[in-house]
Structure 1
Amino acid sequence: MKLIRATVRIKGVVQGVNFRYFTQRTALEHNLTGCVRNLPNGDVEAIFEGRESDVRKVLEWCRQGPSAAHVNELLIDWEDYRGEFDEFRVMR
Structure 2
Amino acid sequence: MASHGEASPYAVRLSARVFGVVQGVGFRFWTMGKAEELGLSGEVRNLDDGSVAVVAEGPEPQVRALLDWLNSGRTPGRVERVEDDLSAADGSFHGFRAL
The verdict on a shared fold, with TM-score over 0.5 as the criterion, is yes
Equivalence map 1:31-46=2 (5 Å) = 31-46=39-54
Equivalent-residue separation in structure 1 for 2:49 and 2:85 (angstroms): 19
Equivalent-residue separation in structure 2 for 1:79 and 1:9 (angstroms): 15
**Per-residue deviation, residues 26-72 of structure 1 (Å, max 9, x unmatched):** 000000000000000000001010000000001111112534x1111
TM-score normalised to structure 2 length: 0.86
Equivalent-residue separation in structure 2 for 1:56 and 1:78 (angstroms): 9
TM-score normalised to structure 1 length: 0.92
- Structure 1's consecutive aligned runs of 4 or more residues displaced over 6 angstroms after TM superposition are none
Matched, 1:80 2:88: yes
Q: Is the 8 A contact 1:17 1:66 kept in 2?
A: no
Q: Equivalent residue for 1:24?
A: 32
